[in-house]
Amino acid sequence: MKIDRCEIREIRMKLREPFEISSGVSHHRRVLLVALHSGGITAWGECVAGETPAYSYETTETAWSILTGLILPRVPGSVMETPADLLPIFEGIRGHPMAKAAVEMAAWDLQAKAAGDSLASLVGGVRDSVTVGVSIGLQRTDDALHRKVADYIEEGYARIKVKIKPGRDVSMLRGLRDRFPDVPLMADANSAYSLDDLPRLKELDKLELMMIEQPLAHDDYLDHARLQGELETPICLDESIRSVRDAALALELGACRIINIKPGRVGGLSSAKAIHDLCVEHEMPVWCGGMLESGVGRAHNVALAALPGFTLPGDISASRRYWSEDIVTPEFVLDGGTVSVPSGPGIGVEVREDLLDVWAVRRADF
Ligand code: OSB
Ligand code: MG
């Protein structure tokens, strides 16, 4: 298959409600969508970088720069059978996995569409629906949090994840645990703590959390290993895992007992699959995280979560949890705590070109 041309669009999508984590609050998403065109097929990928370098050093701006300045100009005329054939377009670019993932994931969509297969079956998925949870941002009051949690449980989400930070942690989670004694509950700190906070983190250990996600610094494998030695609750790493080598390091050191895999964070679906395979080999459970994606990124996440090692509920909520209107049709809906894995060719959902033009902020063609 020859790739004839490609394009990148930035669209602005307003979140239905602000999403606050320990490092800041988002009111909208600047979504970068990459399209690869080959012989009448259009294939899509999404870049998950945020507006500020709080979660990762990558931002919408750095990704736009790397993609339009270096990666996308090399794409037209490339010939690929599988996404691995596109690796030369990333040569000489250290890091920037989120920028690379947008193209790599579009290449998977292209291969699947060309073969008439669903993306899920091409990546090795074994399920036709995936169990999902919901990630709830920091709320102003405990009451507001309790109302949110009650609503999401009512909607059927299979587990609740709440964001925490120092001062909005122990008593907040204890209150939640008292009110919802049986709900599968976990907390995500987005690197807000250090080992100096050990006494506070030990308090969390009493609340029967499924896991504590990324308590310490993004690059601190050693202290995560020390902390895991002090806690009964499994630590789950998110920000720390950017490649299969990071996952191998975390496994070797005992820095966590669970890994959150986000294809957009680790350079794409090939890397995500490799991390999955390594974790399965070492009997480490994994789940698919999210980055407040549009329906395009969500479709890729759903396909990945169909792999056998994804045994814990993902941060793959319904389109409506994020958006009044999604950029894809059909939208992703919640059905008994699960989201269906699309069975049509490729990502299995259509990008709404009508909305793309209305929501567009900028575009570049190659
Ligand atoms: O840490 O998992 C995270 C969103 C943006 C950046 C980082 C994170 C998140 C979420 C939301 O927790 C997950 C989702 O529902 O997409
Ligand atoms: Mg996280």
Q: Are 98 and 125 found together in one domain?
A: no
* Per-residue pLDDT tens over the stretch 172-226: 999 999 999 999 999 999 999 999 999 999 999 999 999 999 999 999 999 999 9
Residue 106 has a pLDDT of 98
- Percent of the chain surpassing pLDDT 90: 100
Nearest ligand to residue 237 Cα? 2
Q: What is the CATH number of the domain that holds 171?
A: 3.20.20.120
| pLDDT single digits (tens) 281-295 | 999 999 999 999 999
| Residue 238 Cβ contacting ligand 1 at under 6 Å | yes
The answer to whether residues 104 and 146 belong to one domain is no
CA-nearest residue, atom 6 of ligand 1: 291
pLDDT in tens, 47-94: 999 999 999 999 999 999 999 999 999 999 999 999 999 999 999 999
Pocket lining: 109 vs ligand 1, CB cutoff 6 Å: no
On whether both 258 and 290 belong to a single domain, the answer is yes
Q: What is the pLDDT of residue 92?
A: 97
pLDDT digits (tens, 9 = 90+) for 267-278: 999 999 999 999
CATH for 21: 3.30.390.10
Report which secondary-structure segment, H or E, holds 14. strand 5-21
Q: Is 262 a catalytic residue?
A: yes
CB 118 within 8 A of CB 341: yes
The whole domain housing 81 covers 5-115+351-365
The answer on 170 and 96 residing in a single domain is no
101, 186: one domain: no
DSSP string, 123-179: HT---SEEEB-EEE---SSHHHHHHHHHHHHHHT-S-EEEE-BTTBSHHHHHHHHHH
The tens digit of pLDDT for each residue in 307-327 reads 999 999 999 999 999 999 999
* Ion ligand 2: residues, Cβ under 5 Å: 188, 213, 238
Instruction: Give the model's pLDDT for residue 231.
Output: 98
State whether 93 and 137 are in the same domain: no
Co-location of 336 and 198 in the same domain:
yes
- The count of domains in the chain is 2
Name the pLDDT band for 241 (thresholds 50, 70, 90).
very high
Atom number in ligand 1 closest to CA 322: 15
For residues 246-269, give the mean pLDDT: 98
Same domain, 127 and 38: no
Query: E strands within 262-352?
Result: 286-288, 328-329, 338-340, 350-351
Please tell me which residue in 163, 165, 202, 206 is annotated as part of the active site.
Answer: 163
Q: Examine the domain organization and report whether 245 and 331 are in the same domain.
A: yes
Looking at the structure, tell me whether residues 126 and 263 fall in a common domain: yes
Asked if 177 contacts 208 with a C-beta cutoff of 8 angstroms, the reply is: yes
pLDDT attached to residue 158 = 97
Dihedral of CA atoms 29, 341, 97, 27 in degrees, nearest 10, equals: 10
Confidence band (pLDDT; 50, 70, 90) for 297? very high
Q: What value does the mean pLDDT of the chain take?
A: 97
Using one digit for the tens of pLDDT, what is the confidence trace for 111-167?
999 999 999 999 999 999 999 999 999 999 999 999 999 999 999 999 999 999 999
284 and 217 belong to one structural domain: yes
Pocket test for ligand 1, best of 315, 320, 323, 334 (most atoms within 8 A of CB): 315
Amino acid at 130: V
The rounded Å distance from CA 242 to ligand 1 centre is 15
Considering the domain architecture, whether residues 17 and 140 belong to the same structural domain is answered as no
The residue whose CB lies within 8 Å of the most ligand 1 atoms, and thus the one to mutate among 287, 292, 322, 332, is: 292
> Is position 163 annotated as part of the catalytic site?
yes
